Amino acid sequence: MEGDGPTIKLGVQLLAAAFTMLVMTLTHGLGLIGIAQAFKLDKERLVKHDLNVRAILLMCGIALSLFALHTIEIALFAAFYLIIGAMQTLEEALYYSASAYATLGRTAEYFPDEWRLVGAFEALIGFLLIGWSTAFMVRNVDQLRTTKD
């Protein structure tokens, strides 16, 4: 059964990637719900606002909250990398995680081979979560721009 080693390692990486995807999706979804509640982002309320300085300040607050949410998610990935021993220092784990999450690339050389698939999946997860945040912002800005009858 010596040939099973690579298959088991691949399976462990895929399970870890699935686990992190699930944790990040839950974290992001709950974060968006929290942001929507904190800023009272319901359609009826947003439609009543004109697109003015106050609305721009509202969007700035939402954007800062989204930035904080993504920072938390990057930190969760970094903590995961420290726990599994893929990274040795917090700074190294945060740097790698932020680079992968934002799909900046050129990070594979910093990641151990036995966990590199998880690192690659972080880029995909980050890409999807950033897209989700973008859709969230666009939806809210669009509701602000709705004309009143």
Q: Name the DSSP class of 146.
A: P
Which whole-number Å values give the CA distances from 64 to 39, 47, 48, 142, 143, in the listed order?
Answer: 12, 22, 23, 19, 19
pLDDT at 4: 65
pLDDT at 137: 94
Residues 96-140: tens digit of each pLDDT: 999 999 988 766 677 788 888 888 899 999 999 999 999 999 998
Name the amino acid, one letter, at 59. M
CB 149 within 8 A of CB 48: no
On the question of pLDDT at 14 being above 90, the answer is: yes
Q: How confident is the model at residue 3 (pLDDT cuts 50, 70, 90)?
A: low
Please name the residue ranges forming H helices in the chain: 4-38, 43-47, 53-84, 90-101, 116-145
Q: How far apart are CA 70 and CA 112, in angstroms?
A: 24
pLDDT at 1: 45
Higher pLDDT, 43 or 92: 92
pLDDT at 148: 54
pLDDT at 126: 96
Q: What is the DSSP string of 19-42?
A: HHHHHHHHHHHHHHHHHHHHTT--
Residues 50-106: tens digit of each pLDDT: 777 888 898 999 999 999 999 999 999 999 999 999 999 999 999 999 999 998 876
Structure tokens of 108? 């594979």
Give Cα 103 to chain centroid, integer Å: 11
